[in-house]
A = this chain, B = another copy of it.
């Protein structure tokens, strides 16, 4: 079966083709009616003229409804007034199903209703565009690491380990024991750099957080590179090179979608290296200068991140954090052991943290001490400690939350629209 799609309709100018898809919209001007038709790759206007088709076909105008499934046969014609540049002069239409009472109409619906109908809402123009951008972002992430000599080494989802703290873990009945859903593949990537030098993992991660903010999901995807023989400075170079590549890729491949989403792409065009680098201390100063009653030693809140990102026209990298703000595995700054060699990258325009990373502690005894100080159980970390016994090395890495990156690049308000089937504290369906 040779399929022809709207996305490459230009190749068929002047030819008769059959397209398979769904009715998007219909309007009539008497002897002619127009059907906007979609097939998943785009939209095209189909023109039905009374004098050119069988009467039964012409009369479909009264019967066809939004989301009816149809195959349309006609001649591809150049038409500069159409958004795609082509229209279809209809010869015949085959109806697969007349759709009745499609729940999502062009009128406004509440978010809860749309989320309950997520399986259908995904067909809408904006949701279609968001998922296409997500697709291209994933591709850009993978291509970037593949082309730069990284090996994909998938981290496990089911683990006995605790990476980011015990309070936000989902537990799984695992035969006669309990497993946890991974919060990050980092600890495993720290192992696999010993085999492959530069690695990345890219998979779903989970946080049982009761947060109901527009930035949180309980299930989200993370891409996490990790590099052997890499310090904090080089880590930041990788991060800015990576983000710039992804944004540039989207500008090159998602123009149609970003137009639909009314994204101001001039702001994205500025995302090129070098990104500004400021210390946490400097960031705290900036907040105070902006009148924030910021408590030194605490993490930044959403509002703080917005103020910080407003100082710059591209992502800003905040490095060297008070040790108590960061996880046990962060290496301490040799020049000031009150600081951890971590880095957060804040997106511009107030989109918040998109990357967290840093240099990892590579000394065995220091790491043992820090696990104890964080009150974590030692046993599940035995294999992780092995990495510091058998050829330990300076190493660094970072993680980018896919959905946060999609939110920023598409310029939308709420993270729940960046993933096909969002999971939040109150939502497990569809």
The answer on a CB contact under 8 Å between A393 and B20 is yes
Q: Bound complex: CA of A138 vs CA of B154, how far in Å?
A: 10
A87 within 8 A of B: no
Distance in angstroms from A224 CB to nearest chain B CB is: 13
The answer on a CB contact under 8 Å between B139 and A174 is no
A146 within 8 A of B: yes
Residues in B neighbouring A3, C-beta threshold 8 A: 229
Q: Which of A131-176 contact B (CB under 8 A)?
A: 131-132, 134-135, 138-139, 142, 146, 149, 151-161, 170-175
Residues in B neighbouring A208, C-beta threshold 8 A: 175
Task: Sort chain A's interface into a size bin.
Answer: 35 or more
Residues in B neighbouring A425, C-beta threshold 8 A: 175
Q: Which residues of A contact B (CB under 8 A)?
A: 1, 3, 5, 7, 20-23, 39-41, 67-69, 71, 96-97, 99-100, 102-103, 117-120, 122-123, 127-128, 131-132, 134-135, 138-139, 142, 146, 149, 151-161, 170-175, 177, 179, 181, 188, 191-198, 203-204, 206, 208, 210, 218-219, 221, 228-231, 233-234, 237, 380, 383-384, 386-387, 389-394, 419-421, 423, 425, 428-430
Q: Bound complex: CA of A235 vs CA of B127, how far in Å?
A: 27
Distance in angstroms from A423 CB to nearest chain B CB is: 5
Known: A1-B233, A204-B203, A430-B383. Is A123-B420 also a contact (CB below 8 A)?
A: no
Which listed residue, B103, B117, B157, touches A219 by the CB 8 Å rule? B157
Q: Bound complex: CA of A228 vs CA of B230, how far in Å?
A: 46
The answer on a CB contact under 8 Å between A383 and B119 is yes
Distance in angstroms from A407 CB to nearest chain B CB is: 15
Residues in B neighbouring A234, C-beta threshold 8 A: 1
The answer on a CB contact under 8 Å between A149 and B41 is yes
Q: Bound complex: CA of A215 vs CA of B218, how far in Å?
A: 32
> Chain B residue with minimal CB distance to A169?
B173
> Chain B residue with minimal CB distance to A229?
B20
Q: Bound complex: CA of A156 vs CA of B419, how far in Å?
A: 9
Which listed residue, B1, B117, B389, touches A231 by the CB 8 Å rule? B1
- What are 13 residue pairs bridging A and B, where the CB atoms are less than 8 Å apart in the complex? A7-B149, A119-B386, A131-B153, A132-B196, A142-B142, A155-B421, A156-B219, A157-B219, A158-B218, A160-B429, A170-B173, A175-B425, A204-B204
